[in-house]
A and B are shown apart, each in its own frame.
Chain A
C-alpha cells in the first residue's frame, strides 16, 4: 500500500467516528417510530433522539451529594469505551490501516470496560435500584459474553484471523457460501445482541417500572450531560451490534478500495441493511413480551448452544487442512 492510500485510510477511519455518532440516535429513532406505527400509534419523529440529546446537553447536570469520583467519570468512560469499541468494526470499507490496532477480542474487552463502569456507577449512589441494575447487568453479560466470543470465534476459525477487517474480507472473497456454522453463529449473535443492548424480551428500554429494569436502573441517578453521554453510549452500542451483524454475515457491498463511489454505494447499502434490521427489531418487540429475569439465562443458554453448534460444525464439517 502506498503512503497516499495509507493516509487516506487513516483519514477515513477518523471520519467514520462522527458518522457513527450522528447515525446512532437515528437508528434508535427509526426503531421507535416503526414500533409505534406497528402498534397503531403516531410515535415520535425519528429525529427525536437527536433533539433529546441536544436538550440534555444544554441542561445542568445534577449529582447526588454522596457521589464519588467514579460516578462523574463513568459517563465519559462508558461513552469513550463504546465509541472505541465501535472504531474497531469496519463500517464502510475493509482493509483500513486502523484495523490492526485492535481485533474482535479487544472489542469485547472494550465493551466489558464500559459495562464495568456502568455497573459501578449504578452502585455508587447507594440506591437499591442501582445495585439491582448492576447485579442483573453483570449476570446477563456474564452469560452473553461466552456466546458472543463463540460466535466470533467461529468466523475467526474460518478466516484464520481475529481481525474483523480480515474476517469480513475473507467472507467477501469466498462469496455466498451457505455454511451451517455461519447460520448458527448469526442466530446466536442476534440473541446476544438483543440481551446486551437491553431490548425485549430481556430488558425493556421503554420502561421505568422498578422491578423490570436492567439498564435503566443503573442510570436512574444521572441528569444533564452525564445522562446524555450514557444514552448516547447505549445508542452507539445498539448500532455497533447492528453493524457487526450485517457486516459480518451480509458483507456484500462493503468497499474493498476506498474510492468515493464505492464508499457511497457502501453507505447506501449499509443504511438499507440497518433499516431492515431495525424493522426486524421493531416487529419482534411488538410481538414479543418481556421475559422474567430468571428466564433470561435460558434465553442466553440457547444463544450459547447455537454458537457452540456453529463452532463445532465449523470444526467438524468445514475445516480443511
Chain B
C-alpha cells in the first residue's frame, strides 16, 4: 500500500499536534520532552518531507475537506506542487530541529522557564505552518495563520523575565496583527466575487483597481510577516530572543510561509499579475536586501545579525518574485518561470542555511553562554564539528560556489539579464540596476559572514567562557550536519531540484523551463545551453582534484612537517586577545562608507559607578525615526484627542451611544 501525499501531510499535522499535547505532561516528567515530544516532531517532519516530495513528483493536486469549519462550508485542504515545495522545506528543517533540540532543551528542564509551554507552542507552531500551506480556503488559511502568529508570539515571549524580551514580543504581536488584518482584507476583496474557497477565488476576476488594492493589501500583510523593509522592525527584535531552535524555525521556515502566502495570493488566486506590481515588489525587495545586509554587518549579537541577514535574504527572494511579476505582466512566461524558480530555490536554500546558522548560533551560545561575537573567538579549535558546519552555512549564505546560495543568486542574475527582451526601455534599465544592488548585497553578505566567522570562530578566545567552550553533544551536531549536507546537495544538484520545481511555473504561468535539463542532470542550462550554463558538480570536482594535485605535488619528504611557533605579528610580540581586531573594528570602514544609512550614536560615556569613561558606538535603524516614531506619535495624539470623549459623566456616554445609533440608522436607510 502506498501512502498518497495528502494523508501523509495529515499525519504530519497530527504528529505535531500530538507532540503539543504530550508536552503538557512534561511539567511532571521533564524527560518526556526528549523521549516523546521531540521524536514526534521528527516524525511530523519526516511525514511532511515525504508528502512534499510526493506532491512534487506526482504533480497532481490533491483535494480534500475536513469535518470542521463554517456551517455551510467545511474547511478545504489541497496539496499541489506549490504547497509541496513548502511542505518539503518545513519538513527538512523540522527534522533537523527535532534531532538538535533534545540536547538543547535539557537546560530548560531545571530552569524557571516552563517546559510544557515551550513544547505546546512549538507543536502548535509547526502544525499551524503545515496547515497554512495545506489550506485551500481563506477561512482556514486565516485561522491557521493566526494560530501560527500567536503560538510564535508565545515562543518569542518564552523567556519573559527579561524586559527586552517582553518588549520584542509585544512589537511582534502588534505587527503580526496589523499584517494579519491586511491579509484578511485582501482575502475579503477576493471573496467578494465568489466564495471563500480558493477554487472560487481563482475564477473570480477583479477589475484593475480592485486587483491592485488586493495586491497592495497582500504585499503589506505578507511582507510584514516576511520582514521586508520598511516593515521589518519586529524581526531583528523577535527572532534573537526565542530559544535557538525556535529561532531556526521562525527565520528558516515561518518567513517562507509568508513567501508561500504571497505567491499563492498573487500568482495563483489573483492571477493576471501586472507589470507595475512587479516594479514595486522588485524595488522593495532590492531595498530590503541592501538594508538587511548593511545592518547585519553592524550587529555584535550573533543571533541579531542572523535575523538581519534574514531580512536580506527575504529581499533577494522578493527580487525574484518581482522579476517574475514583471515578466509575467509583460507577456514573457518563460522568463517569469525562471524568476519564480529562482525565488523558490532561494526560499529553499535560505531555509537550509539560516536554519543551520541559527542552530549553530544556539550551539555556540549553549557552549559559551555568550551572545555577542565580541566575547567568542577561537571556537573552531574548541568545537571543530560545529565550526565546520557553520562554515558551510556561511559559505552558502555568502553565495559562493559550489554551494547552494550561489545557485539561486545565479538564477536570479540570469533572469535579470534577460531584461533586454522587454519592450519597455525604463524596465530594461531598471532591472540591471537592481541586479547591481543584488551584486552589492552579495559582496556585503560575504563581508558580514567573514566578520561573523572570523570574529566568532577564529582568532584567540575573547572571553573566559569562550576559552573553556566544549563541543556539543552528538545530537546537536547531527542536526547541524543534516542541514549542512542539504546545503551542499542543493548546491551541486541544481538541475534535479529545478526539474522538481519546474511544475510550479507550469501550473501558474502555463510555461516552464523546458531547456533546464537539456544537457543532462549535470548541466544547468535554465534558458538554453547557448545563453548560460553551469555545472556545479564539475566545478566542485575540479576544485577538489586541483587541491589534491597541489598537495600531492608539494609533498616533499624533507619539508612535510610544518614548524609551529609564535605568531610573527610584524615583530610586535604583544599579541593577546585584547589586541585582536574586534567585530566593531571590522565593521568600522563599512559604517563610515555607508554612514548616511545608519543612525550612529558614538561618543564617550562616563557611567555612574565607574571612573573610566568608555567609548560607545551604537548603530541604529534610521527607519525608527523616520517611520515608526511618527506613527507612534500619531497614534498617541489620536488617543489623546479621543480621550476627550471620556468625560466621566454617564449622560455624555448615553449621548454618544444615541448619536452612533442615529448615524447607523442613517447609513442603512
A residues apposed to B, CB below 8 Å:
57-66, 68-70, 72, 76-77, 79-81, 83-84, 87, 100-103, 105-106, 109-110, 112-113, 115-116, 119-120, 122-132, 134-136, 138-139, 141-146, 148-150, 153, 156-157, 160-163, 166, 208, 210, 220-221, 224-225, 229, 293-294, 297, 304, 308, 311-312, 315-316, 319, 321
Contact = CB atoms under 8 A, between A and B. Distances in A.
Contact of B535 (A57, A100, A129): A100
A316 B425 contact: yes
B112 to A, nearest CB: 37
A60 B417 contact: no
Given A81-B543, A126-B580, A224-B559, A142 B454 contact: no
A120 B450 contact: yes
24 contacts: A58-B559, A59-B559, A60-B559, A65-B565, A66-B460, A84-B539, A110-B401, A112-B399, A120-B458, A124-B454, A125-B575, A127-B579, A134-B450, A134-B454, A138-B450, A144-B443, A149-B435, A157-B419, A161-B532, A294-B589, A294-B592, A304-B436, A312-B429, A315-B428
Q: Which of A110, A115, A131, A225 has the most CB of B within 10 A?
A: A131
B565 A64 contact: yes
Given A68-B458, A141-B443, A102 B539 contact: yes
A64 B460 CA distance: 12
A258 B450 CA distance: 42
Interface string B532-548: 11110011001100110
B435 A153 contact: yes
Interface string B415-440: 00101110101001100110111011
A94 to B, nearest CB: 13
Given A109-B400, A109-B401, A131-B580, A70 B380 contact: yes
Interface stretch (B178-186, B253-261, B566-574, B644-652): B566-574
Nearest to A123: B454
Contact of A84 (B406, B543, B561): B543
Nearest to B533: A100
B443 A163 contact: no
Contacts of B381: 66, 68
Contacts of B565: 62-65
Contacts of B11: none
- Chain B interface category by residue count: 35 or more
Contacts of B577: 126
Given A60-B563, A229-B550, A156 B450 contact: no
A139 B417 CA distance: 26
B580 A106 contact: no
B443 A146 contact: yes
Contact of A60 (B433, B561, B585): B561
B593 A124 contact: no
Contacts of B543: 80-81, 84
B384 interface: yes
A142 B590 CA distance: 10
A319 B532 contact: no
B446 interface: yes
Interface string B127-163: 0000000000000000000000000000000000000
A61 B589 CA distance: 33
B17 to A, nearest CB: 43
Main secondary structure of the interface of A (DSSP, over half): helix
B444 interface: yes
Contacts of B581: 123, 128, 130-132, 134-135
B529 A100 contact: yes
A128 B532 contact: no
B554 A319 contact: no
A235 B363 CA distance: 40
B467 to A, nearest CB: 12
Q: Which 7 A-B pairs have the closest CB atoms?
A: A131-B581, A123-B454, A138-B447, A126-B459, A64-B567, A145-B443, A142-B443
B562 interface: yes
B417 A157 contact: yes
Nearest to B418: A160
A65 B381 CA distance: 11
A11 B107 CA distance: 59
B546 A69 contact: no
A66 B435 CA distance: 41
Contacts of B559: 58-61, 224-225
A169 B156 CA distance: 57
Contact of B453 (A61, A120, A220): A120
A53 to B, nearest CB: 12
A42 B399 CA distance: 46
Contact of A113 (B395, B563, B586): B395
A294 B533 CA distance: 38
A72 B562 contact: yes
B589 A225 contact: no
Nearest to B581: A131
Nearest to A87: B542
B459 A124 contact: yes
A225 B550 CA distance: 11
B546 A84 contact: yes
A62 B450 contact: no
Contacts of B532: 103, 161-163
B455 interface: yes
Contact of A149 (B439, B569, B582): B439
Nearest to B427: A315
Contacts of A66: 378, 381, 460, 567
A80 B435 contact: no
B588 interface: yes
Contacts of A150: 432, 436, 439
B589 A139 contact: yes
Most chain-A CB neighbours within 10 Å: which of B400, B423, B451, B580?
B400
Contacts of A112: 398-400, 442-443, 446
B531 interface: yes
Interface in B386-406: 387, 391, 395, 398-401, 406
B662 to A, nearest CB: 62
Most central of A58, A72, A101 by chain B CB within 10 Å: A101
Contact of A123 (B420, B458, B546, B550): B458
Contacts of A119: 450, 454
Contacts of A60: 559, 561-563
Contact of B579 (A87, A128, A136, A138): A128
Contacts of A79: 550
Interface string B352-381: 000000000000000000000000011011
A156 B531 CA distance: 9
Contacts of A143: 440, 443, 593
B432 A116 contact: no
Interface in B500-548: 519, 523, 529-535, 538-539, 542-543, 546-547
B414 interface: yes
Contact of A116 (B387, B423, B450, B561): B450
Contacts of B580: 126-128, 131
A140 to B, nearest CB: 9
